[in-house]
């Protein structure tokens, strides 16, 4: 059934525990407030993962978005410092069916509700998330507002309709580090028990931070890399000054076509004929744009832990979080091979250059959260650097 629309002229959040979710198409949903009290506005998207709510909320790729979780209960495992993908939450708001009254897990260090309050993140629970997700699938991701401060729905609707679209936004510049830093094995979390490789001489990697996740840095280190992280606006000269054996282009939020400095850097890197380059998510899209391709906005994006990607006879179940994709028809097939497709909708999931050690994947092989099927792409990157040595 379609979601109902309410008279938006006078409705407000009258109860101290009540919250409103207002979409740009006039849809108004009532629920209960959790997390911080206030109003937040952003693009309403949904994530189909059954686990990993803390990793999702702290992933910089969710900057500017209100995340609807399709799993019916949040908060049952609490929160802990080791599961954060950044120093703070980046999702602007959280939409849930139900909030667990109890956090019960041996790794828990606090409740989700209290943690969101501490970081000023507004949440709404008691929403029919199944109906909301159907609505988003039919109409596409849409701007919306979560409010628990008594604001009237009509006022919220006006604010939502004035908010900018995600298309055209360079959010990578907002979430990127402001200063370079080093990441090595001393920084890596001990909880991940996957196999680690420790070469006698670690591979020197420069990672461009468009909104990088800690789990990506940890997997690079686990595969034998010593990583220098540079800001999103780093120049080719700054990158090459570190004498890298490989360059990594990270994930991040927003429209890849708007990240002009990153595209320019990627074009310069492609001129270094024998330099291995690896891009994930936004970094993959930036590679595609640097190769002369075009990007486009997906209707409702790919956000979850269960997306099949691959080619004939080979399938990986992948973790994904992106709202844009590369147009396959825009790539020069003489120079580029599309190595993987998203098997749900046949969009480009990975590409590689035919005559250079350069490749990108649209999904998240670090799998935080998610399956570990695609972790081999980090080994693929280090193998290219080993060959170059």
Res 285 pLDDT > 70: yes
Give the model's confidence band at 199: pLDDT under 50 very low, under 70 low, under 90 confident, else very high: confident
Res 359 pLDDT > 90: yes
Q: Is 4 part of a structural domain of the chain?
A: no
Domain match, 128 and 58 both:
yes
| DSSP single-letter state for residue 165 | P
Domain match, 281 and 180 both:
yes
For the entire predicted model, the pTM comes to: 0.94
Of 12-26, 281-295, 338-352, 368-382, least confident by mean pLDDT is 12-26
Listed residues 131, 162, 193: the one ending a domain: 162
Q: Is 256 part of a structural domain of the chain?
A: yes
The pLDDT value recorded for residue 67 is 98
Give the model's confidence band at 2: pLDDT under 50 very low, under 70 low, under 90 confident, else very high: very low
Domain match, 156 and 60 both:
yes
Q: What average pLDDT does the chain have?
A: 93
Q: What is the pLDDT of residues 41-68, one digit of tens each?
A: 999 999 999 999 999 999 999 999 999 9
Domain match, 139 and 213 both:
no
- Mapped onto helix, strand or coil, the DSSP state of residue 348 is strand
Res 14 pLDDT > 50: no
Domain of 157, CATH number, reads 3.50.30.20
The pLDDT value recorded for residue 313 is 86
Domain of 255, CATH number, reads 3.40.50.880
Res 9 pLDDT > 50: no
The pLDDT value recorded for residue 1 is 39
Domain match, 125 and 271 both:
no
Question: Which residues belong to the active site?
Answer: 281, 364, 366
The pLDDT value recorded for residue 311 is 85
Domain match, 296 and 356 both:
yes
Domain match, 147 and 190 both:
no
Domain match, 186 and 331 both:
yes
Q: Is 282 part of a structural domain of the chain?
A: yes
The pLDDT value recorded for residue 153 is 96
C-beta of residue 345 within 8 angstroms of C-beta of residue 293: no
Q: What is the pLDDT of residues 308-342, one digit of tens each?
A: 999 888 999 999 999 999 999 999 999 999 999 99
Q: Is 103 part of a structural domain of the chain?
A: yes
Choice between 195 and 249, residue whose per-residue pLDDT is larger: 249
Angle between helices 260-270 and 282-290 (to 10 degrees): 60
Contacts with 322 (C-beta within 8 Å, 6 or more apart), sequence order: 61, 281, 282, 285, 298, 301, 302, 303, 362
Question: 369 preceded by cis ω (within 30°)?
Answer: yes
Rounded CA-CA distance 276/269 in Å is: 9
Q: Is 2 part of a structural domain of the chain?
A: no
The pLDDT value recorded for residue 243 is 97
Res 296 pLDDT > 90: yes
The pLDDT value recorded for residue 11 is 45
Q: Is 3 part of a structural domain of the chain?
A: no
Rounded CA-CA distance 45/62 in Å is: 9
The pLDDT value recorded for residue 183 is 93
Q: What is the pLDDT of residues 106-163, one digit of tens each?
A: 999 999 999 999 999 999 999 999 999 999 999 999 999 999 999 999 999 999 999 9
Res 207 pLDDT > 90: yes
- The stretch 76-93 carries a mean pLDDT of 96
- Mapped onto helix, strand or coil, the DSSP state of residue 308 is strand
Identify which of 369, 371, 381 has the alpha carbon closest to the alpha carbon of residue 85.
Answer: 369
Domain match, 151 and 176 both:
no
Res 10 pLDDT > 80: no
Q: Is 56 part of a structural domain of the chain?
A: yes
The total of structural domains in the chain comes to: 2
The pLDDT value recorded for residue 7 is 42
Q: Which domain holds residue 324?
A: 172-388
Of 139-143, 185-189, 228-232, 367-371, least confident by mean pLDDT is 185-189
Listed residues 116, 135, 162: the one ending a domain: 162
Domain match, 152 and 190 both:
no
Q: Is 6 part of a structural domain of the chain?
A: no
Domain match, 201 and 145 both:
no
Contacts with 271 (C-beta within 8 Å, 6 or more apart), sequence order: none
Rounded CA-CA distance 49/51 in Å is: 6
The pLDDT value recorded for residue 4 is 54
The pLDDT value recorded for residue 13 is 46
Listed residues 121, 144, 162: the one ending a domain: 162
Domain match, 231 and 303 both:
yes
Question: Tokens standing for 212?
Answer: 């990088």
- The stretch 158-186 carries a mean pLDDT of 93
């Amino acid at each position: 059934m379609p979601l109902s629309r309410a008279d938006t002229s006078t409705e407000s959040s009258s109860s101290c525990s009540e919250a409103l979710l207002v979409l740009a198409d006039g849809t108004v949903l009532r629920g209960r407030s959790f997390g911080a009290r206030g109003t937040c506005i952003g693009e309403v998207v949904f994530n189909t993962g059954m686990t990993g709510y803390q990793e999702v909320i702290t992933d910089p790729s969710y900057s500017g978005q209100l995340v609807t979780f399709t799993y019916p209960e949040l908060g049952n495992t609490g929160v802990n410092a080791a599961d954060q993908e950044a120093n703070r939450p980046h999702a602007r708001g959280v939409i849930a069916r139900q909030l667990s009254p109890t956090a019960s897990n041996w790794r828990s260090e606090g409740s989700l509700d209290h943690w969101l309050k501490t970081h000023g993140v507004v949440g709404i629970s008691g929403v029919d998330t199944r109906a909301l997700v159907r609505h988003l699938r039919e109409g596409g991701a849409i701007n919306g507002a979560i409010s628990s401060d008594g604001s009237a729905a009509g006022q919220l609707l006006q604010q939502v309709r004035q908010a900018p679209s995600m298309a055209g936004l360079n959010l990578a510049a907002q979430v990127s580090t402001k200063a370079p830093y080093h990441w090595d094995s001393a920084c890596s979390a001990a909880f991940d028990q996957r196999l680690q490789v420790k070469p006698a001489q670690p591979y020197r990697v420069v990672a461009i931070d468009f909104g990088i996740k800690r789990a990506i840095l940890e997997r690079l280190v686990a595969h034998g890399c010593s990583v220098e992280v540079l800001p999103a606006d780093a120049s080719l000269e700054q990158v090459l000054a570190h004498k890298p054996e490989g360059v990594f282009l990270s994930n991040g939020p927003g429209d890849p076509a708007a990240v002009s400095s990153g595209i320019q850097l990627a074009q310069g890197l492609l001129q270094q004929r024998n330099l291995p380059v690896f891009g994930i998510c936004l970094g993959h899209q930036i590679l595609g744009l640097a190769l002369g391709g075009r990007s486009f906005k997906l209707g409702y994006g790919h956000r979850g832990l269960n997306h099949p990607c691959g080619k004939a006879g080979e399938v990986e179940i992948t973790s994904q979080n992106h709202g844009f994709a590369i147009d396959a028809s825009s790539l020069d097939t003489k120079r580029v091979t599309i190595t993987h497709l998203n098997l749900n909708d046949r969009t480009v999931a990975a590409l590689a250059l035919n005559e250079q050690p350069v490749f990108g994947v649209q999904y998240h092989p670090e799998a935080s959260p998610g399956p570990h099927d695609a972790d081999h792409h980090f080994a693929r990157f280090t193998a290219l650097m080993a060959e170059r040595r």
